[in-house]
C-alpha cells in the first residue's frame, strides 16, 4: 500500500483525472438559463418583441378549488403552484359552459355560447369564424394542436389555423390506473400528448410557434401508479389524476428550460369546466352551472419571472383568454370577441396603473355561462340554463320546466349552499333583466353554428369519453330516467 501512495504514477493519474474533469466541465450538455426577472411595467414591452412563442395547456375538467395555488390543502399541483407564484394567477375565473364543446367554442372565439350558437352535439364552428390559431399562422408562427377530447376534433371546426392538428398515437399503457366511472376507456394517456408536444418543440424551437395541448386524464380520473394515493373515492382518484397532469405540465416546462426557451415563451394554463362531487346533488359535469363545474383556474406564465407573482382578484371569464394573450404578444384582436384583454387588470394588480379606466370597466362587468341540457339528445327541444356572476352574486335561471331561479352570495357563502332568491326578490328581478338583455343579443357575426353529421366511428369515440349520444336502446333507458332528470340538481351525466 505504502509503495502505491509513494509512487509518482499516482500523481500522474490524479493530475490526468483532474484535467479530464476540467475538460468535461467545459462541455456540459445542458446549462439552465438564467431566468429573466420582470415586473408589471415590463408586461407591455412583450408586444414589441418578435421572438415570443405561446403554449396553451388546457386541462379538461379541472376545477379551480382542487389546485394548490387556489387554496386546496392536498398537494395536487406542486409544479403548477411553483410556476404560478412567479406568474399571473387569476383568482376567480368563470368558464362559459360546463361541457367541453360549448365551452371551448366560446374560449377560442371570445364569444359567449349565446353568440357562437355552439350548444349541442352536432354543432360546429363554421369556416367564417376567425380563431386565434389563424391569427398566429398569419403572423408566421408554426401552429400545432394536440388533443385527446373528441369534442374538439377537426370536424367540429376547432382545427382552423393549425398546421398540425392531431390526436396523438396511444403508446403508453403500463403503469396507469384507470378509475373512470365510464365503462368506456379512452385509448392512451396524456403522456402521449406530452411526448408529441415535446417532439414539436424540439422540431420548431428555432422558429416562432403556437402550441395547444389539450389534456384529458383528469376528465378520465386516470393517473400513473407513481401518483400519490389520496384515497378510494372518485373524488380522491380525481385528485390523483390532477397530480399526474401536473407532472405532465412539468415535463413541458422542463423541455422549454432544457432548450433555453423559457425566456421567450408565454405559457397559459386553463380549463374548460370543473367537476361536481354531489355538492348540488349530482356528480360529473354538463348538467348544471354551479361553482364546482364553472370555476376554473387560469395561470399565465410570462417570458420572465414576476417577483412577486401577480394575482388578479376580479371575476374574469374564459372568453377573455385570447383577447388577453393576443394583446400580450401584439397580434390583432379577435374579431367580434365579447371577451376583453385583461392586461389592464394585470398591470393594476401589479401596481402599474396605466389603463385605469379600462381596468375599472373590467372589474365591474358581469360574466355569463350557458348550457343546453339537451346537448346530447337527438331531436329533443333545447333545455337552456343561463348563469351570471356579477359582483359577489351567482344567479342561475332554468329556461325549461318549473325550476325557480337560484341566487348565491359568494362573499358570505362561497360554496353556494344558501339560496337567497326568495329573500331577495328585487335583486332577482334586476339580475333577471340583465340576463334577458344578454339573451336578446342574438347570434354571431358569422350567423350561427354549422350542423355536422357524426359518423359511427366518431360516435364511438365520443361515447368513449363517457358522453352518451342516444341510440334506441339508450333512449328507452332515458325515458325511464327522464322525470328524475328534469330536476336541475339530479345529475349523473358526464
Positions in the binding site for Zn ion (CB under 5 A):
60, 100, 272
Nearer to Zn ion, 337 or 462 (CB): 462
Which of 363, 464 has the CB closer to Zn ion? 464
DSSP letter for each residue of 158-198? TTTT-SEEEPPP----TTEEE--SSSSPPSS-HHHHHHHHH
Contacts of 440 (CB under 8 A, 6+ apart): none
CB of 53 to Zn ion, least distance (A): 25
Taking the complex as a whole, how short is the minimal distance between the CB of residue 466 and Zn ion, in angstroms?
A: 10
Q: Could you tell me which residues come within 8 angstroms of residue 439 by beta carbon, excluding any fewer than 6 positions away?
A: 114, 386
60 or 292, CB closer to Zn ion? Answer: 60
Choose between 60 and 159: whose C-beta lies nearer to Zn ion: 60
Q: Which is nearer to Zn ion, 58 or 386 (CB)?
A: 58
Q: Which is nearer to Zn ion, 151 or 322 (CB)?
A: 151
Q: How far is the CB of 376 from Zn ion (least distance, A)?
A: 13
Nearest distance, CB of residue 322 and Zn ion, angstroms: 18
Q: Which is nearer to Zn ion, 315 or 494 (CB)?
A: 494
Q: Considering the complex, what minimum distance in angstroms separates the CB of residue 439 from Zn ion?
A: 24
Min. distance of Cβ 476 from Zn ion in angstroms?
Answer: 28
Q: What are phi and psi of 210, to 5 degrees?
A: -125, 120
Candidates 270, 281, 302, 339; CA nearest to 106 is 339
Tell me whether residue 266 or residue 468 sits nearer to Zn ion (CB atom): 468
Under 8 Å between Cβ of 212 and 58: yes
In angstroms, give the least distance from the CB of 432 to Zn ion. 29
Rounded distance between C-alpha atoms, residue 357 and residue 354, angstroms: 9
Q: Specify the residue, 100 or 324, whose C-beta has the smaller distance to Zn ion.
A: 100
Residues 6+ apart with CB under 8 A from 61: 218, 219, 271, 272, 273, 274, 275, 285
Residue nearest to Zn ion (CB): 100
**Minimum CB separation from Zn ion for residue 323, in Å?**
22
CB 235, min distance to Zn ion, A: 17
Closest CA to 409 of 397, 395, 423: 395
Largest CA distance in the chain: 99
User: Strand pairing partners for 213?
Assistant: 57, 146
Least distance CB 286 / Zn ion (angstroms): 8
Report in angstroms how near the CB of residue 60 gets to Zn ion at its nearest.
4
Helix (H, G, I), strand (E, B) or coil at 384: strand
Closest CA to 133 of 152, 112, 114, 113: 152
The residue behind cell 353568440 is 115
What are the cell numbers at 165?
A: 392538428
On the 0-12 / 13-18 / 19+ scale of CB atoms within 10 A, 187 is middle
CB of 190 to Zn ion, least distance (A): 14
Query: At 133, phi and psi to the nearest 5?
Result: -60, -30
Cell of 446: 358569422
**Distance in angstroms (rounded) separating the CA atoms of residues 361 and 339:** 12
Task: DSSP for 227-296, please give it.
Answer: S----SSHHHHHHHHHHHHHHHHHHHHHHHHHTT-GGGEEEEEE-S---EESTTS-EESSS--SHHHHB-
Dist CA 88 CA 82 (whole Å): 12
Q: Are 382 and 372 in contact (CB under 8 A)?
A: yes
Bridging pattern class, strands 164-166 and 298-301: unpaired
Partnered with residue 123 across adjacent β-strands are: 451
| Helix (H/G/I), strand (E/B), else coil: 10 | helix
Q: How far is the CB of 64 from Zn ion (least distance, A)?
A: 14
Shorter beta-carbon distance to Zn ion: residue 60 or 192 = 60
Nearer to Zn ion, 100 or 227 (CB): 100
Nearer to Zn ion, 61 or 240 (CB): 61
In the bound state with Zn ion, the residue whose beta carbon lies nearer, of 95 and 341, is 95
CA atoms 230, 235, 238, 243: torsion sign: negative
Amino acid at each position: 500500500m505504502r509503495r502505491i501512495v509513494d509512487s509518482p504514477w499516482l500523481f500522474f493519474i490524479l493530475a490526468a483525472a483532474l484535467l479530464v474533469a476540467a475538460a468535461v466541465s467545459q462541455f456540459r450538455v445542458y446549462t439552465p438559463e438564467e431566468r429573466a426577472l420582470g415586473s408589471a411595467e415590463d408586461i407591455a414591452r412583450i408586444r414589441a418583441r418578435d421572438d415570443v412563442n405561446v403554449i396553451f395547456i388546457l386541462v379538461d375538467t379541472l376545477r379551480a378549488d382542487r389546485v394548490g395555488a387556489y387554496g386546496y390543502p392536498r398537494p395536487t399541483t406542486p409544479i403548477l403552484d411553483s410556476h404560478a407564484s412567479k406568474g399571473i394567477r387569476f383568482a376567480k375565473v368563470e368558464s362559459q359552459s360546463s361541457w367541453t364543446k360549448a365551452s371551448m367554442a366560446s374560449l377560442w372565439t371570445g364569444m359567449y355560447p349565446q353568440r357562437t350558437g355552439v350548444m349541442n352535439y352536432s354543432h360546429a364552428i363554421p369556416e367564417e369564424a376567425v380563431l386565434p390559431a389563424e391569427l398566429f399562422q398569419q403572423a408566421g408562427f408554426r401552429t400545432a394542436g394536440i388533443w385527446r377530447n373528441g369534442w374538439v376534433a377537426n370536424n367540429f371546426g376547432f382545427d382552423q389555423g393549425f398546421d398540425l392538428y392531431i390526436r396523438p398515437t396511444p403508446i403508453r399503457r403500463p403503469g396507469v390506473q384507470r378509475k373512470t366511472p365510464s365503462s368506456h376507456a379512452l385509448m392512451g394517456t396524456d403522456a402521449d400528448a406530452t411526448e408529441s408536444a415535446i417532439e414539436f418543440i424540439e422540431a420548431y424551437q428555432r422558429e416562432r410557434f403556437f402550441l395547444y395541448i389539450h389534456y384529458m386524464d383528469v376528465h378520465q380520473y386516470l393517473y400513473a401508479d407513481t401518483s400519490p394515493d389520496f384515497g378510494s373515492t372518485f373524488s380522491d382518484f380525481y385528485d390523483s389524476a390532477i397530480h399526474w397532469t401536473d407532472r405532465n405540465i412539468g415535463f413541458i416546462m422542463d423541455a422549454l428550460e432544457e432548450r433555453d426557451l423559457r425566456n421567450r415563451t408565454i405559457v397559459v394554463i386553463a380549463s374548460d369546466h370543473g367537476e361536481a362531487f354531489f355538492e348540488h346533488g349530482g356528480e360529473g359535469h354538463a348538467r348544471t352551472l354551479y361553482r364546482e363545474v364553472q370555476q376554473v383556474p387560469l395561470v399565465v406564465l410570462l417570458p420572465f419571472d414576476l417577483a412577486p407573482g401577480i394575482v388578479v382578484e376580479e371575476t374574469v371569464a374564459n372568453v377573455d383568454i385570447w383577447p388577453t394573450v393576443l394583446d400580450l404578444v401584439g397580434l390583432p384582436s379577435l374579431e367580434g370577441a365579447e371577451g376583453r384583454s385583461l392586461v389592464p387588470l394585470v398591470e393594476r394588480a401589479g401596481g402599474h396603473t396605466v389603463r385605469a379606466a379600462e381596468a375599472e370597466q373590467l372589474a365591474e362587468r358581469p360574466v355569463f355561462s350557458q348550457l343546453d341540457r339537451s346537448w346530447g339528445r337527438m331531436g329533443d327541444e333545447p333545455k337552456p340554463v343561463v348563469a351570471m356572476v356579477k359582483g359577489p352574486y351567482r344567479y342561475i335561471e332554468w329556461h325549461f320546466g318549473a325550476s325557480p331561479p337560484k341566487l348565491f352570495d359568494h362573499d358570505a357563502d362561497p360554496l353556494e349552499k344558501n339560496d337567497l332568491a326568495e329573500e331577495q326578490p328585487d335583486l332577482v328581478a334586476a339580475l333577471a333583466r340583465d340576463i334577458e338583455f344578454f339573451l336578446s343579443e342574438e347570434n354571431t357575426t358569422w350567423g350561427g353554428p354549422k350542423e355536422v353529421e357524426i359518423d359511427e366511428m366518431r360516435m364511438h369515440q365520443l361515447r368513449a369519453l363517457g358522453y352518451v349520444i342516444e341510440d334506441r336502446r339508450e333512449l328507452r333507458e332515458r325515458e325511464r330516467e327522464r322525470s328524475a332528470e328534469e330536476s336541475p340538481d339530479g345529475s349523473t351525466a358526464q
